[in-house]
Amino acid sequence: IIGITVSKSENFSQWYQEVVLKAELIEYYTEISGFFIMRPATMYIWNTIRKWFQERIEAMGVEETNFPMFLSQKSLEKEKDHVEGFAPELAWVTKAGDKDLEVPVAVRPTSEAVMYPYYSKWIRSHRDLPFRLNQWNSVVRWEAKQTTPFLRAREFMWQEGHTAHLTEQLAGEEVLQILELYAGIYEQLLAVPVVRGRKTEAEKFAGGYYTTTVEGYIPSNGRGIQGATSHCLGQNFSKMFDITVEDPNEKGKHIHVWQNSWGLSTRVIGVMVMIHGDDKGLVLPPRIAKIQSILIPVGLTAKMTAEDKEKHLKHLDEIFNTLKKAGVRVDVDLRDGYTPAWKFNDWELKGVPLRLEFGPKDAAKEVVSYARRDTGEKGTIPIAELTTKVPEMLETIQQDMYNKADAAYRAHRLKITNWDEVVPALDAKNVVIIPHCLVPACEEKIKELTTGRSDESPDTPEGQKAPSMGMKSLCIPFEQPEGLVKGETKCLNPECDRLAEQWCMFGRSY
Ligand X SMILES: O=C(C[C@H]1NCCC[C@H]1O)Cn1cnc2c(c1=O)CCCC2
List the one residue from 34, 109, 285, 353 that touches ligand X (CB under 6 A): 109
Spatial distance between the Cα atoms of 61 and 395, rounded to a whole number of angstroms: 31
Interface stretch with ligand X, choices 81-89, 432-440, 489-497, 498-506 (CB under 6 A) = 81-89
Nearer to ligand X, 162 or 355 (CB): 162
Nearer to ligand X, 109 or 281 (CB): 109
List the one residue from 22, 132, 141, 280 that touches ligand X (CB under 6 A): 141
Residue 6 beta carbon to ligand X: minimum distance, rounded to whole angstroms: 33
CB-side exposure of 51: number of CA atoms within 13 Å? Answer: 8
Residue 445 beta carbon to ligand X: minimum distance, rounded to whole angstroms: 25
Residue 233 beta carbon to ligand X: minimum distance, rounded to whole angstroms: 8
List the one residue from 18, 19, 57, 110 that touches ligand X (CB under 6 A): 110
Task: Give the interface size with ligand X as a residue count (CB under 6 A).
Answer: 13
Of 199, 149, 151, nearest in space to 38 by CA: 149
Q: What angle do CA 145, 151, 155 make, to 5 degrees?
A: 75
Residue 173 beta carbon to ligand X: minimum distance, rounded to whole angstroms: 17
Spatial distance between the Cα atoms of 290 and 271, rounded to a whole number of angstroms: 18
Interface stretch with ligand X, choices 63-71, 256-264, 296-304, 483-491 (CB under 6 A) = 256-264
DSSP states of 309-336: HHHHHHHHHHHHHHHHHTT--EEE---T
419 lies in the site for ligand X, by CB under 6 A = no
List the one residue from 24, 27, 89, 456 that touches ligand X (CB under 6 A): 89
Nearer to ligand X, 110 or 398 (CB): 110
Q: In this structure, are strands 254-256 and 99-107 parallel, antiparallel, or unpaired?
A: unpaired
Residue 68 beta carbon to ligand X: minimum distance, rounded to whole angstroms: 16
83 lies in the site for ligand X, by CB under 6 A = yes
Residue 78 beta carbon to ligand X: minimum distance, rounded to whole angstroms: 12
Nearer to ligand X, 182 or 347 (CB): 182
Q: Are 221 and 499 in contact (CB under 8 A)?
A: no
Nearer to ligand X, 83 or 323 (CB): 83
Q: Are 213 and 226 in contact (CB under 8 A)?
A: yes
Spatial distance between the Cα atoms of 224 and 193, rounded to a whole number of angstroms: 12
List the one residue from 36, 116, 150, 205 that touches ligand X (CB under 6 A): 205
Residue 212 beta carbon to ligand X: minimum distance, rounded to whole angstroms: 11
Residue 126 beta carbon to ligand X: minimum distance, rounded to whole angstroms: 24
Spatial distance between the Cα atoms of 400 and 394, rounded to a whole number of angstroms: 10
Nearer to ligand X, 263 or 360 (CB): 263
Of 36, 38, 34, nearest in space to 49 by CA: 38
Q: Are 120 and 138 in contact (CB under 8 A)?
A: no
Mark 159-198 with x for binding to ligand X (rule: CB under 6 A) and - for no binding. -x--------------------------------------
Spatial distance between the Cα atoms of 182 and 2, rounded to a whole number of angstroms: 36
Nearer to ligand X, 89 or 421 (CB): 89
86 lies in the site for ligand X, by CB under 6 A = yes
Q: What are phi and psi of 448, to 5 degrees?
A: -65, -50
Q: What angle do CA 405, 406, 412 make, to 5 degrees?
A: 90
Residue 268 beta carbon to ligand X: minimum distance, rounded to whole angstroms: 14
Residue 361 beta carbon to ligand X: minimum distance, rounded to whole angstroms: 55
Spatial distance between the Cα atoms of 52 and 434, rounded to a whole number of angstroms: 35
CA distances from 249 to 135, 171, 245, 253, 255 (A): 33, 19, 11, 9, 11
Question: Residues 103-123, buried b or exposed e (16+ Cβ, 10 A)?
Answer: eebbbbbbbbbbbbbebbeeb
430 lies in the site for ligand X, by CB under 6 A = no
Spatial distance between the Cα atoms of 245 and 124, rounded to a whole number of angstroms: 5
Positions in 257-276 near ligand X (CB under 6 A): 261-263
Positions in 220-239 near ligand X (CB under 6 A): 229, 231
501 lies in the site for ligand X, by CB under 6 A = no
Nearer to ligand X, 141 or 436 (CB): 141
Nearer to ligand X, 79 or 348 (CB): 79
Which positions lie near ligand X, rule CB under 6 A? 83, 86, 89, 109-110, 141, 160, 205, 229, 231, 261-263
